[in-house]
Chains A and B, each alone.
Chain A
Amino acid sequence: MRSPSLAILWEVWRATRVEAAWKLALGSGAGIFILVLSYSQREIVKDANAAIALVGIVIPHLIGWLSMARLNNGRAGFPLYLHYTHPIRTAVVVGLPMAYLTAVSAAIYLVSALLLRATSGYAFPLLPVAAWMAALTVIGVAATWSTRNRSVQVNMMVSATAIAYLISMQRLTGVEIPDNYDWPPRLWPTLFDWPLTDYAVIALIGVASFGITVAGVARQRRGDGWAEVLPAQRGGVWAWLVDSIRVPCPTSSATRAQMWFDLKSNGLPMLTIGVALASVILLVSAVSSPIDAALNANPGLHASCPISECFYVRSAPPLLTLLSLFVMLFLGRNAFSIRSRQGRTYIGAFEATQPHGAVQMAVLKLLVRSACLLAALIAIGASAWLSLPLLGDALFIQMWGVPLNSKSSVLNDAVATLTGYEQLSLVIVMGVGLVIWVALFAGLGALWARYSRRVNIAASSLLLCGLAFAFLAVAQRNGNVSAAVIHAILVAARWTAAAAIVGATVYLYWSCLAERTLAPRYALGALLLSGAFVAAWMALLGAAGVQFASMPWTSIASMLLWPLFLPLFTSALAPWSYSRVRHT
């Protein structure tokens, strides 16, 4: 490395390259997939899907740079603190990574938009949105680096995102279009033609963020940041929740003590956040109608509203519900508590050296996390359900073109017509499905910690396959590839995937039983659970009107293969991967 600047840039590139790749692949892949889905649809659906694809390539940039936060093990403050002892000015230590991350965010958006343009023909906006993505990134970086106070960070990020959301909504929905949503692709070149003052504002945001960050990091470097004297606040809301939940540790058994450990350190704080979000959804819903009525009655505001009744606060609860679900699923991902610090991923030696079996430990962690996640999701779902009547039908017609509120009775009736067995099946499918979700993420996280290179290669290969399929669909639409070829490729891919999960499941069980990681009775229990899941799945398919008797066996096999093997595969993958990361 010839200069400190190059060394810093190399370090940031090294830390963020995988995240940059998945942000690009995920945004573009999801966007192309959504566009491909709408090829045979009506024009209005195609337009709607194009808008969703645009949102899809923007969303990965709203979560910030997770790999940089990981350098700090999620703690607040400047993540490249190891440079404090190097003879480099703070402005350089801060400015170079900040500029790099901002430029890469904008570049990822631009490449994604160009890919979507090439595959769909829609004029996905380039520079205007890329510039705002850069602005949001630079604000996010400033918020997370300049202070160790988590509340300040969260407030800055929420404010920036909310302001960006409100401005974009105001601009994109400025023209009311009858029988369509307000920003169809044909209007994008006009709608996204920001005035030059926007770019001046973005430049100012950049300069201000840089200045604030340099000042904040300089204080941290000197060790006199005011958050230093408040150690209890350093861990943020999560640490505060962990401290607040005062439950004594049981000493009667190792299993109870471990359950206490997982509940106190992860489960209960997650559940509390879920319940808090559910309460916020309900509260906002309760006050939204009067506030909207008051705003609509205001002559000044009403003049700027293009329709008879605008939705201000009432649009927040449905979006907040979706956001809450994503947040909870995100919080439920790391059931094995795998830590990351300065490029190293590991489980703590403290837990790993407790005299508890790897399988018992893994299963206990998964069950605690799943139970708390399920309870949180139920709270959010119940809150959203109770909120529907408070928001009114008109909102849903405006947002999604369907009177969702009035359709809720249809859903009620559908659940009511299910027999007791079918309702039990629904509960089993939802419960086991959630455990599978938690276990899959935990297992993959452990595998990534242990075999990061191989997992990255496998994930990249899968994403490339997905992209290849999307391009094949585009080629078919343009007449370059015949439908028969596409069909043959899809059938081959489906059977390859089926063979892969069967093979992987057999290998995992063989490996676990040979190493005595799993006891035969555990394997038997997993088999019984998978059988129950398949039976429940079949009951629900039957309730949905699927006639198994009239179907060929290959169709039935392909329909039941995944429900049977996914729980089996997951039930072996989770303890196996935990054992691999515990006994490296």
Chain B
Amino acid sequence: MGQTVVEVNDLSRSFGSKRALDGVTFHTMAGQVYGLVGANGAGKTTLLKHLLGLLRAATGSVRVFGLDPVRDPVGVLGRVGYLSEERDLPEWMRIDELMAYTQAFHPTWDASYARELIDTFGLDPSKKIKELSKGMRAQAGLVTAVAHRPELLILDEPSSGLDAVVRRDILDAIVRTVTDDGRTVIFSSHLLDEVERMSDHVTLIHQGRVALSGVLDDVRGSYQRSRLHFVEHLVQPPVLETAMVIEGGGRTWSVVHSGSLEQFRRAVVARGGEIVESRNATLEEIFMARAGRSRQVEAA
């Protein structure tokens, strides 16, 4: 296990009466890819902004490389690459000026890598940012984020609004960054298949709280989707303790559940049914089950 890169402990943040983060604890280790998932407004961007020092921790603490990003922005941001969802780049700059400007802040800037990425993306260095399409802006932003070989790469919805080709370019670049030893990536996304493909760890944020966090394979292994068959026709969904989502009707039901499969099988048999088929749940199914469940609890 590598060293700790990010330590967020009991972080809370409110905007007016809206509780954006509520007691969030989040740790990352070097050399891993962390996916942050959650619905719009769940608090993903707020958490990432705290890591960058753009937001000050109201309660709780934030440490990146053991430093407070608000008190020591130079120490933290010098080792971080960041691509925002808004692709907030100065519109008057040309791409070559953008590269030169960013290079000045990062002694570790790898000019040949930057040039290689620019060529790969097919960007014209003499073009101004304001003349670029949304996808090209994302690509230009990504070059500035990764060309100094950051120890931590933070991507806030990197593929939001981009077509499949640009999305693949960005994901490939992430993979290349991660393949360098000891580098860490934290990225937020609502595209769960993307997170599933890229991440080693996944953290689900729901209504400002960490609803689920762990190694992706462990998370997926601890949730199953099972198809059940009952002898009798059931009017109401069967009551099963570890079930999170139950869909279907009559004799056939589909259930997303947690815990051990054997325990679940016993519970099903006790109610006069059997498991016809069972597999690990997808991240989307887990996400829907966790988010949907808390919504139901709220409604109740």
- CB nearest to B154 among chain A residues: A353
Of residues A264, A350, A516, which shows the largest number of chain B Cβ atoms within 10 Å of its Cβ? Answer: A350
Known A348-B90, A353-B77; contact A261-B54, beta-carbon cutoff 8 A: no
Q: Is B78 among interface residues, defined by CB-CB distance under 8 A? A: yes
Of residues B86, B104, B106, which shows the largest number of chain A Cβ atoms within 10 Å of its Cβ? Answer: B104
B88-107 contacts to A (CB < 8 Å): 88-90, 92, 97, 100-106
Chain A residues whose CB sits within 8 angstroms of the CB of B97 once the complex forms: 248-249
Known A248-B100, A252-B104, A256-B104; contact A355-B90, beta-carbon cutoff 8 A: no
Query: How far is the CB of B242 from the nearest CB of chain A, in Å?
Result: 42
Q: Is A356 among interface residues, defined by CB-CB distance under 8 A? A: yes
Q: Is B249 among interface residues, defined by CB-CB distance under 8 A? A: no
Q: Is the CB of B90 within 8 A of A265?
A: yes
Query: How far is the CB of A232 from the nearest CB of chain B, in Å?
Result: 8
Known A250-B104, A261-B101; contact A357-B73, beta-carbon cutoff 8 A: yes
Known A265-B92, A350-B89; contact A249-B52, beta-carbon cutoff 8 A: no
Q: Is B123 among interface residues, defined by CB-CB distance under 8 A? A: no
Q: Is the CB of B73 within 8 A of A358?
A: yes
Chain B residues whose CB sits within 8 angstroms of the CB of A516 once the complex forms: 71
Query: How far is the CB of A458 from the nearest CB of chain B, in Å?
Result: 20
Chain A residues whose CB sits within 8 angstroms of the CB of B102 once the complex forms: 354
Chain A residues whose CB sits within 8 angstroms of the CB of B52 once the complex forms: 352-353
Q: Is the CB of B53 within 8 A of A242?
A: no
Chain A residues whose CB sits within 8 angstroms of the CB of B288 once the complex forms: none
Q: Is the CB of B104 within 8 A of A355?
A: no
Q: Is the CB of B100 within 8 A of A257?
A: yes
B60-98 contacts to A (CB < 8 Å): 70-71, 73-78, 80, 82, 84, 86, 88-90, 92, 97
Q: Is A198 among interface residues, defined by CB-CB distance under 8 A? A: no
Chain B residues whose CB sits within 8 angstroms of the CB of A357 once the complex forms: 73-74
- CB nearest to A352 among chain B residues: B54
Query: How far is the CB of A313 from the nearest CB of chain B, in Å?
Result: 37
- CB nearest to A515 among chain B residues: B71
Q: Is the CB of A355 within 8 A of B101?
A: no
Query: How far is the CB of A523 from the nearest CB of chain B, in Å?
Result: 17
Q: Is the CB of B55 within 8 A of A251?
A: no
Q: Is the CB of A354 within 8 A of B103?
A: no
Q: Is B227 among interface residues, defined by CB-CB distance under 8 A? A: no
Chain A residues whose CB sits within 8 angstroms of the CB of B77 once the complex forms: 353-356
Q: Is the CB of B54 within 8 A of A583?
A: yes
Chain B residues whose CB sits within 8 angstroms of the CB of A239 once the complex forms: 92
Q: Is the CB of B73 within 8 A of A254?
A: no
Q: Is A555 among interface residues, defined by CB-CB distance under 8 A? A: no
Interface residues on A, range: 35 or more
Q: Is A309 among interface residues, defined by CB-CB distance under 8 A? A: no
Query: How far is the CB of B71 from the nearest CB of chain A, in Å?
Result: 5
Q: Is the CB of A249 within 8 A of B100?
A: yes
Query: How far is the CB of B69 from the nearest CB of chain A, in Å?
Result: 8
Q: Is the CB of B104 within 8 A of A583?
A: no
Q: Is the CB of A257 within 8 A of B105?
A: yes
A550-584 contacts to B (CB < 8 Å): 582-584
Q: Is A176 among interface residues, defined by CB-CB distance under 8 A? A: no
Contact pick for B73, options A235, A250, A348, A356, CB 8 Å: A356
Q: Is the CB of A251 within 8 A of B103?
A: yes
Q: Could you tell me the distance between the alpha carbons of A410 and B82 in the complex, rounded to whole angstroms?
A: 61
Known A265-B92, A354-B105; contact A251-B84, beta-carbon cutoff 8 A: no
Q: Is A3 among interface residues, defined by CB-CB distance under 8 A? A: no
Q: Is the CB of A350 within 8 A of B88?
A: yes
Of residues A231, A254, A349, which shows the largest number of chain B Cβ atoms within 10 Å of its Cβ? Answer: A349
Of residues B86, B92, B103, B131, which shows the largest number of chain A Cβ atoms within 10 Å of its Cβ? Answer: B92
Q: Is the CB of B100 within 8 A of A251?
A: yes
Chain A residues whose CB sits within 8 angstroms of the CB of B84 once the complex forms: 349
Q: Is A243 among interface residues, defined by CB-CB distance under 8 A? A: yes
Q: Is the CB of A231 within 8 A of B105?
A: no
Query: How far is the CB of B139 from the nearest CB of chain A, in Å?
Result: 15
Q: Could you tell me the distance between the alpha carbons of A131 and B90 in the complex, rounded to whole angstroms?
A: 42
Q: Could you tell me the distance between the alpha carbons of A386 and B95 in the complex, rounded to whole angstroms?
A: 44
Q: Is B130 among interface residues, defined by CB-CB distance under 8 A? A: yes
Q: Is B56 among interface residues, defined by CB-CB distance under 8 A? A: yes
Query: How far is the CB of B157 from the nearest CB of chain A, in Å?
Result: 13
A469-519 contacts to B (CB < 8 Å): 515-516
Q: Is the CB of A353 within 8 A of B101?
A: no
Q: Is the CB of B100 within 8 A of A349?
A: no
A241-267 contacts to B (CB < 8 Å): 242-243, 248-254, 256-258, 260-261, 264-265
Chain A residues whose CB sits within 8 angstroms of the CB of B101 once the complex forms: 249, 257, 260-261
Q: Is the CB of B86 within 8 A of A349?
A: yes
- CB nearest to A260 among chain B residues: B101
Of residues A235, A258, A357, which shows the largest number of chain B Cβ atoms within 10 Å of its Cβ? Answer: A357
Query: How far is the CB of B110 from the nearest CB of chain A, in Å?
Result: 13
B101-128 contacts to A (CB < 8 Å): 101-106, 128
Q: Could you tell me the distance between the alpha carbons of A475 and B131 in the complex, rounded to whole angstroms?
A: 62
Q: Could you tell me the distance between the alpha carbons of A40 and B53 in the complex, rounded to whole angstroms?
A: 57
Q: Could you tell me the distance between the alpha carbons of A252 and B92 in the complex, rounded to whole angstroms?
A: 22
Q: Could you tell me the distance between the alpha carbons of A349 and B102 in the complex, rounded to whole angstroms?
A: 14
Q: Could you tell me the distance between the alpha carbons of A356 and B104 in the complex, rounded to whole angstroms?
A: 11
- CB nearest to B13 among chain A residues: A584
Chain A residues whose CB sits within 8 angstroms of the CB of B92 once the complex forms: 235, 239, 242-243, 264-265
Q: Is the CB of B106 within 8 A of A231?
A: no
Chain B residues whose CB sits within 8 angstroms of the CB of A358 once the complex forms: 73
Chain B residues whose CB sits within 8 angstroms of the CB of A250 once the complex forms: 100, 104
- CB nearest to A516 among chain B residues: B71
Query: How far is the CB of B210 from the nearest CB of chain A, in Å?
Result: 22
Q: Is the CB of B86 within 8 A of A355?
A: no
Question: Beta-carbon contacts of A352-369 to B below 8 Å, as 1s and 0s?
Answer: 111111100000000000
Chain A residues whose CB sits within 8 angstroms of the CB of B75 once the complex forms: 355
**Contacts A/B (CB < 8 Å), 10 sampled:** A250-B100, A250-B104, A253-B104, A258-B104, A353-B82, A354-B105, A355-B76, A357-B74, A516-B71, A584-B55
Given contacts A354-B102, A582-B53, 10 further A-B contacts (CB under 8 A): A231-B130, A234-B130, A250-B104, A251-B103, A260-B101, A265-B92, A349-B82, A354-B105, A355-B75, A583-B70
Which residues of B are in contact with A by a Cβ distance under 8 Å?
Answer: 52-56, 70-71, 73-78, 80, 82, 84, 86, 88-90, 92, 97, 100-106, 128, 130-131
